[in-house]
Amino acid sequence: MTPRHILNTLSAILRSDNPQTVHLYGPPGCGKTALCSQVAKATRLQAIIIALPTCEAVDLRGMPQIVNGRTSWASPLPRDGEGVLVLDEVSSAAPDVQVAAHHLAWREVGSDMCLPPGWRVVMTGNRAQDRTVYRSMSGPLRNRVTLIEVEPSPDDWRVWAMANGIKPDVTGFIKWRPNLLTCKEIPQEGAFPSPRAWAQASTLLSLSGLSAAEEKELMAGTVGTGEATEFCAYLRLCRELPDILKIVANQDTAEVPTSPSVLYALVTSLSMHTRSTGESAMLYVSRMPAEMGLLYVRDIRDYYDLKTDQHIRKWIGQHKSMFKDDDA
């Protein structure tokens, strides 16, 4: 299931009067924990994230103590209110910690590990093929949760990236080369691409004083050697683009590139300009191939009133068939 659909599905589960425990699993860096936090915020629920690989079973159940002659457990878990308890990286947890997580996930009524009714449980983890510290979840535990595999989506990630300050150079590159968002098989050693890695690459692009060779080494150490080679070649093109402000000021005469990679970089930068300033670049974009216009409209539609822009209205009218299965 892609992140966009997971957000909808998980939100519905968390709002339910009888919420089920969900286990999100998928490759490293695909945003499993971030999805949990995003859904908790959207549903106005407090989120507590517990990294299970750093825990012992007692960290979930609590220390035993004698109260009125009987054993009681001083549990650190919530005892009132409501929220989302995220048991993170359960597939990397020690067996006894997984057993403790099992009792929380099953929500056994009367158990000394039963959470208050207002609390929901979401678990996350990786897969056996992901070259992580991996311990298979037991059959009984898997049978007590709803399993949802997270499938990274370049389009979903790009929407997230543009709303979260990821540099246009990175989002444009992933739009042009969507198969490089993740890798099919995680290498035995060295860096590899993932949504998390590309977000880190965006941060590194803010560093100043680096030579091209040094920047390329940083990218290779973040997203992998092959991916860094392509990305740095793309960066060289992006850095030769015309000034965005000059393009917007001269939309009917500014030169339109022909290279697909340059077009993706340029449209992404123009989209970010429109989203941040409210200034349309549709007159210029309409001179590009139609798929670039569609990309621009989709990128800005949640941040700009399309109906007030005569150039956008005209362009959409001329390309209605492209929006057949679209909400725009």
Conformation bin of residue 70: beta by default, left when phi > 0, alpha when psi is -120 to 50 = beta
Q: Are strands 83-88 and 119-125 parallel, antiparallel or unpaired?
A: parallel
Q: How far apart are CA 90 and CA 57, in angstroms?
A: 12
Q: What is the pLDDT of residue 285?
A: 96
Question: What letter represents residue 80's amino acid?
Answer: D
What do you get for the CA distance between the two ends of the chain, in Å?
A: 23
pTM above 0.85, yes or no: no
Structure tokens at 30: 């695909």
Domains, the chain, ranges and CATH?
3-149 (3.40.50.300), 154-323 (no CATH)
Q: How far apart are CA 210 and CA 109, in angstroms?
A: 59
Q: In what order do the strands lie in the sheet with 83-88?
A: 46-51, 83-88, 119-125, 22-25, 146-149
Q: Is the pLDDT of residue 328 over 70?
A: no
Distance of CA 230 to the CA centre of its chain: 22
25-29, 62-66, 82-86, 319-323: least confidently modelled range: 62-66
pLDDT, tens only, 153-169? 999 999 999 889 999 89
Contact 280, 255 (CB under 8 A): no
**pLDDT > 90: percent of the chain:** 67
